[in-house]
A and B are shown apart, each in its own frame.
Chain A
Amino acid sequence: MNDMTPTSAERAEKLEGMGCKRKRVEDVRFVQGKGNYVDDLKLTGMLYGDFTRSPHAHARIKKIDTSKAAAVPGVIAVLTAAELKPLSLHYMPTLAGDVAAVLAEEKVLYQNQEVAFVIATDRYIAADAADLVEVEYEALPALVDPFKAMAPDAPLLREDIKDKTEGAHGKRKHYNHIFTWEMGDKDGVDAAFKKADVTMKEMISYQRVHPCPLETCQCVASFDKIKGELTVWGTFQAPHVIRTVASLISKIPEHKIHVIAPDIGGGFGNKVGAYPGYICAIVASIVTGQPVKWVEDRIENLSTTAFARDYHMLTEMSATKDGKVTGLRVYTIADHGAFDACADPSKWPAGFFNIVTGSYDFPVAHVAVDGVYTNKAPGGVAYRCSFRVTEAAYCIERAMDIMAQKLGMDAAEFRMKNLIRREQFPYTSALGWEYDSGDYHTALNKAMDTVGYKKLRAEQKAKQEAFKRGETRELMGIGIAFFTEIVGAGPSRNCDILGIAMFDSAEIRIHPTGSVIARLGTKSQGQGHETTYAQIIATELGIAADNIMIEEGNTDTAPYGLGTYGSRSTPVSGAATAVAARKIKAKAQMIAAHLLEVHDDDLEWDVDRFRVKGNPERFKTMTELAWAAYHGVPPGMEPGLEAVSYYDPPNMTYPFGAYICVLDVDVDTGTSKIRRFYALDDCGTRINPMIIEGQIHGGLTEALGIAMGQEIHYDDDGNVTTASLMDYFLPTAVETPHWETDWTTTPSPHHPIGAKGVGESPNVGGVPCFANAVNDAFRFLGSTHIAMPHDNWRTWTVAEKLGLHA
């Protein structure tokens, strides 16, 4: 070697592998307006579909007359349940074991439910004609309040299943009941409460919200009658599952269905499930023999395709008088709307809600969830969180604050006392999860030190005194949240979707010149997979990330995978990527040994090459080995250099974090001014710190929206009153504060590269942090729990009720 030879470190840096703040590959097309989203697609002869929707929340359909609509010039066809029923497509299966109406047959069960689908040559004509479909309704009483769903005299919603006493998850105890899901040690908790010095009990409700990605749900279906093949381009977070479901319900063989998810304009859980628009576009294309595009508008998006939360959690905690938690009991009413269209792993009707013990060492806990039907849009998706994990985190983090208040303890001190200790990992929680790794005290200490926690408390106290003296009209709130997520679903022993194990996949092919294509079973919606997966391969194989192309979303070419949601891409497909790369590396090592005429064991890996131990000048780079794989493999070895991995994770991963929010509430206007927000995240090994920070900024902003204003609200008649961006709060740059990010690194012991996933952590931790800050502002006045969202009006009302405007 001479002096010009780059060192190992120099070569490693050039790869732009793991740990590098690599600029994103996908941005080059996005900043030039050359993204390829579904609505950008234009096919010859393409038709447009639009829905006629129900104005009622609950009504019997007496008559549908499509003649006026069908007579509009340019209208090709109008579909109603009558057309779909002979094909058995008027209902579709949901991921949760229920069925959902595609087009309403005898009844409508929520406002804006799909009743007819008009197909026309132009989207304006389709919209015109959809208005001309005449539907005669007989209005029925609407059931809006989930707490009244199981009353003896509650309106019967689901006539299609009224005689079914057994649901997908066991016995149904009422005609509006979906499931009861229970876990933990009920007797143990009862005993703990009997012995407890202090207990708390609070109804902690997490309002109905919607993920609201900026691009709505949409698809183009194109059926080729000659070949009998169906191609569907759509906004699919899980394209392979969509293909399987499409095959099962259409009876078109799976190999003749091509599902393609192009660029997606944000998903956040909204784009996991299947919606009537997809089915209708497919049927319409089969019927007409022409491609059919369906694009929902924002009102349709907010009021029909998916919602999240709507969890009402009666929470009780017991503790000793010196502040050690001894038991947790949570009973939840879950409002699923008209159909159970939750997007959870099939065996988990309440998702992973049993993560509700959070980051704390509860000796015993018990949870039960009753799912009920109401006259609201169906769903129960995971809006930027693993399944029901944000609900759980909000529940426990609020409850911890309320308990601290009861004990007269500081919220941070109480948490410190109960956090799971480093030496307890791997830690088995009272509700059955095995937390893989954590160092919670270090994280919380770092957070508190960074923000100057003690000083903040002193300042708060002084401000409270000043408030009492009438010198200020502001109250200072300090919110803490310490969250543990459970992501990376998941191990096949307990996670499947419709019977398909929740593995994920990667297929890597090295070309003769040493460049790479890798295809994965996941699907980015903005997370930057094209950038980060390449970084994993770069480090594993010593090939520059710029020479690695990542492809996802085409079910014909990508290996089967379960898609991107629940922060599962890095924990599952990221692991598959590393494992596939290691298979390639093992073969490359054999080729290197052959070429260098040494034994495999005499070689060692050095960044981008195998070199002979003790003789580093004898080496073969990965590029050389790629070339050799196509012409000079050892005798008996197959040529080529590629590998595939289907990775079945041994466990979930458990990212965690400590967040602190400081804000000032103006009691006269109800406004909350966020002074500071500090987020420390531990997502294990960090692949691209720039992308991680971006994910955290975005998740915190979504959390801000949820905590401070978002709500999908229904009036007593079941009219949805917040179905446009006029009324549904999305934070602008003005409301959004500056985010401070920080990290610790506790790798996952079971993941090939130690990564845990991060995209959803800020939503999981952010929401309770904001909520705790607002609540903390009022704590010294005796207030224990104020329900979300903390918009100005609600906050003003709290101040009013506390007599602060007198």
Chain B
Amino acid sequence: MAKSQVTMTVNGKPVEALVEPRTLLIHFLREQLNLTGPHIGCDTSHCGACTVDFNGMSVKTCTMFAVQANGSDIRTIEGMANADGTMHALQEGFREMHGLQCGFCTPGMILRAYRLLQENPSPTEEEIRFGISGNLCRCTGYQNIIKAIQYAAAKLRGVPLQEAAE
């Protein structure tokens, strides 16, 4: 099958590649770029395990083609760490608050939470529940994911963490 050239920025780095027109973005990220953080959990855009940050939006990469990402700016879990190499407040929050178990939904969940906090730096519990409802988790029952996001929100706003952590 004829391949198309795509260029994009992934985790701050320029990427140039040849892809088949039908290659899904998730397969491009995982198999051509070896970014295996985003996962595949369903075929129907329901689970959100493949969520990345795409031009300032949360996007499920199982439902778009790599060619559609031409010229885009993408961030995956592999690009979440702070510039100094320490973990992002969300990564830290998920660990501190036990916001994950099997870890399969976690990269997508963190990327979704990242965009949520960009749009709403101090969400209520209800806003968080609604905001992450496109991402499924089978292990945690969401309660500690919500705490993890609250923890990160507090830390990013510079509010004492005591408030977020129980």
- Tell me whether A and B are bound partners: yes
Q: Which residues of A contact B (CB under 8 A)?
A: 23-24, 26-35, 37, 39-40, 42, 123-124, 212-216, 263-266, 268, 295, 297-299, 525-528, 690-691, 693-695, 697-702, 724-726, 730, 732-734, 736, 738-739
Stretch in B2-10, B132-140, B154-162 with 4+ CB within 8 Å of A: B132-140
Report the separation of the CA atoms of residues A690 and B92 in the bound assembly, to the nearest whole angstrom: 16
Residues of B within 8 A of A263 (CB): 102-103
B75-103 contacts to A (CB < 8 Å): 76-78, 80-81, 87, 91-92, 94-96, 98, 100-103
* Given A27-B95, A33-B76, also A730-B104 (CB < 8 A): no
Please state if A31 and B91 are interface contacts (CB–CB under 8 Å).
yes
Task: Indicate the member of A30, A123, A724, A725 with the most B CB atoms within 10 Å.
Answer: A30
Report the separation of the CA atoms of residues A28 and B34 in the bound assembly, to the nearest whole angstrom: 19
* Given A698-B139, A734-B133, also A33-B107 (CB < 8 A): yes
> B97-117, CB under 8 A of A: which get 1 and which 0?
010111111110010000000
Main secondary structure of the interface of A (DSSP, over half): loop
* Given A27-B94, A31-B94, A33-B78, also A726-B138 (CB < 8 A): no
Report the separation of the CA atoms of residues A123 and B47 in the bound assembly, to the nearest whole angstrom: 21
Please state if A268 and B106 are interface contacts (CB–CB under 8 Å).
no
Please state if A39 and B138 are interface contacts (CB–CB under 8 Å).
no
Q: A37-B104, A213-B104, A697-B144 are in contact. List 19 more A-B contacts (CB 8 A).
A: A33-B107, A37-B36, A39-B36, A40-B36, A124-B22, A214-B136, A215-B41, A266-B104, A298-B43, A697-B140, A698-B139, A701-B140, A724-B42, A732-B142, A733-B146, A734-B133, A736-B129, A736-B141, A739-B143
Cβ contacts A to B, 19 pairs, < 8 Å = A24-B98, A27-B103, A33-B35, A33-B107, A39-B36, A40-B30, A213-B138, A263-B102, A265-B41, A266-B102, A526-B104, A528-B101, A726-B46, A730-B136, A732-B133, A732-B134, A732-B142, A736-B142, A739-B143
Check if B163 is an interface residue, CB within 8 A of chain A: no
Please state if B87 and A32 are interface contacts (CB–CB under 8 Å).
yes
Report the separation of the CA atoms of residues A527 and B130 in the bound assembly, to the nearest whole angstrom: 27
* Given A214-B105, A698-B101, A725-B44, also A266-B139 (CB < 8 A): yes
Check if B145 is an interface residue, CB within 8 A of chain A: yes
* Given A733-B132, A733-B133, also A526-B77 (CB < 8 A): no
Residues of B within 8 A of A693 (CB): 98
Residues of A within 8 A of B94 (CB): 27, 31
Task: Indicate the member of B20, B102, B107, B136 with the most A CB atoms within 10 Å.
Answer: B102
Task: Indicate the member of A27, A216, A298 with the most B CB atoms within 10 Å.
Answer: A27
Report the separation of the CA atoms of residues A404 and B132 in the bound assembly, to the nearest whole angstrom: 41
Residues of A within 8 A of B27 (CB): 123
* Given A35-B103, A35-B104, also A733-B138 (CB < 8 A): no
Please state if A124 and B42 are interface contacts (CB–CB under 8 Å).
no
Residues of B within 8 A of A725 (CB): 42, 44, 46-47, 136
3 nearest A-B pairs in the assembled complex, by CB-CB distance:
A33-B37, A526-B102, A30-B103
Report the separation of the CA atoms of residues A702 and B138 in the bound assembly, to the nearest whole angstrom: 7
Task: Indicate the member of B30, B106, B145 with the most A CB atoms within 10 Å.
Answer: B106
Please state if B143 and A298 are interface contacts (CB–CB under 8 Å).
no
* B3 → A minimal CB distance (Å): 13
Please state if A214 and B41 are interface contacts (CB–CB under 8 Å).
yes
Report the separation of the CA atoms of residues A525 and B100 in the bound assembly, to the nearest whole angstrom: 12
Q: Which residue of B lies closest to A696 (CB)?
A: B141
* B78 → A minimal CB distance (Å): 5
Please state if B80 and A32 are interface contacts (CB–CB under 8 Å).
yes
Q: Which residue of A lies closest to B104 (CB)?
A: A265
Selected contact of A266 from candidates B34, B129, B138, CB within 8 Å:
B138
Number of A-B contacts (CB under 8 A): 173
Please state if B133 and A212 are interface contacts (CB–CB under 8 Å).
no
Check if B49 is an interface residue, CB within 8 A of chain A: yes
Residues of A within 8 A of B38 (CB): 33
Report the separation of the CA atoms of residues A726 and B20 in the bound assembly, to the nearest whole angstrom: 28
* Given A33-B78, A35-B104, A124-B20, also A730-B138 (CB < 8 A): yes
Report the separation of the CA atoms of residues A630 and B110 in the bound assembly, to the nearest whole angstrom: 46
Interface magnitude class on chain B: 35 or more
* A696 → B minimal CB distance (Å): 8
Q: Which residue of B lies closest to A724 (CB)?
A: B44
Please state if B102 and A264 are interface contacts (CB–CB under 8 Å).
yes
Report the separation of the CA atoms of residues A700 and B103 in the bound assembly, to the nearest whole angstrom: 18
Please state if A265 and B91 are interface contacts (CB–CB under 8 Å).
no
Q: Which residue of B lies closest to A30 (CB)?
A: B103
Residues of A within 8 A of B74 (CB): none
Check if B153 is an interface residue, CB within 8 A of chain A: no
Please state if B44 and A701 are interface contacts (CB–CB under 8 Å).
no
Report the separation of the CA atoms of residues A266 and B47 in the bound assembly, to the nearest whole angstrom: 14
Q: Which residue of A lies closest to B128 (CB)?
A: A733
Please state if B102 and A734 are interface contacts (CB–CB under 8 Å).
no
* A686 → B minimal CB distance (Å): 15
Check if B40 is an interface residue, CB within 8 A of chain A: yes
Residues of A within 8 A of B110 (CB): 31
Residues of A within 8 A of B138 (CB): 212-214, 266, 268, 698, 702, 730
Residues of B within 8 A of A700 (CB): 141
Selected contact of A690 from candidates B20, B39, B47, B98, CB within 8 Å:
B98
Please state if B81 and A698 are interface contacts (CB–CB under 8 Å).
no
Please state if A33 and B98 are interface contacts (CB–CB under 8 Å).
no
* Given A30-B106, A214-B49, A214-B104, also A526-B76 (CB < 8 A): no
Selected contact of B43 from candidates A26, A299, A698, A702, CB within 8 Å:
A299
* B64 → A minimal CB distance (Å): 16
Residues of A within 8 A of B129 (CB): 733-734, 736
Report the separation of the CA atoms of residues A212 and B137 in the bound assembly, to the nearest whole angstrom: 11
B12-27 contacts to A (CB < 8 Å): 20, 22-23, 27
Please state if A33 and B43 are interface contacts (CB–CB under 8 Å).
no
Residues of B within 8 A of A34 (CB): 37
Report the separation of the CA atoms of residues A263 and B133 in the bound assembly, to the nearest whole angstrom: 25
Report the separation of the CA atoms of residues A213 and B137 in the bound assembly, to the nearest whole angstrom: 9
Please state if B133 and A526 are interface contacts (CB–CB under 8 Å).
no
Please state if A691 and B130 are interface contacts (CB–CB under 8 Å).
no
* Given A32-B77, A214-B102, also A298-B42 (CB < 8 A): yes
Report the separation of the CA atoms of residues A27 and B39 in the bound assembly, to the nearest whole angstrom: 16
* A190 → B minimal CB distance (Å): 44
Please state if B141 and A734 are interface contacts (CB–CB under 8 Å).
no
Please state if B98 and A691 are interface contacts (CB–CB under 8 Å).
yes
* Given A27-B95, A33-B77, also A698-B39 (CB < 8 A): no
* Given A701-B142, A732-B133, also A32-B91 (CB < 8 A): yes
Residues of A within 8 A of B92 (CB): 31
* Given A24-B95, A33-B78, also A734-B43 (CB < 8 A): no
Residues of A within 8 A of B95 (CB): 23-24, 27-28, 31
Report the separation of the CA atoms of residues A31 and B46 in the bound assembly, to the nearest whole angstrom: 21
Report the separation of the CA atoms of residues A192 and B139 in the bound assembly, to the nearest whole angstrom: 44
Q: Which residue of B lies closest to A41 (CB)?
A: B36
Q: Which residue of B lies closest to A704 (CB)?
A: B141
Q: Which residue of B lies closest to A125 (CB)?
A: B1
Report the separation of the CA atoms of residues A526 and B98 in the bound assembly, to the nearest whole angstrom: 11
* Given A32-B91, A214-B47, also A694-B140 (CB < 8 A): yes
Report the separation of the CA atoms of residues A26 and B95 in the bound assembly, to the nearest whole angstrom: 9
Q: Which residue of A lies closest to B145 (CB)?
A: A733
Residues of B within 8 A of A738 (CB): 143
Q: Which residue of B lies closest to A212 (CB)?
A: B138
* A763 → B minimal CB distance (Å): 11
* A553 → B minimal CB distance (Å): 13
Please state if B103 and A265 are interface contacts (CB–CB under 8 Å).
yes
Please state if A732 and B136 are interface contacts (CB–CB under 8 Å).
yes
Selected contact of A734 from candidates B20, B22, B78, B130, CB within 8 Å:
B130
Report the separation of the CA atoms of residues A494 and B77 in the bound assembly, to the nearest whole angstrom: 47
Report the separation of the CA atoms of residues A23 and B100 in the bound assembly, to the nearest whole angstrom: 11
Q: Which residue of A lies closest to B90 (CB)?
A: A31
Residues of B within 8 A of A702 (CB): 138
Residues of A within 8 A of B96 (CB): 23
Q: Which residue of B lies closest to A734 (CB)?
A: B133
Please state if A525 and B102 are interface contacts (CB–CB under 8 Å).
yes
Residues of B within 8 A of A526 (CB): 101-104, 139
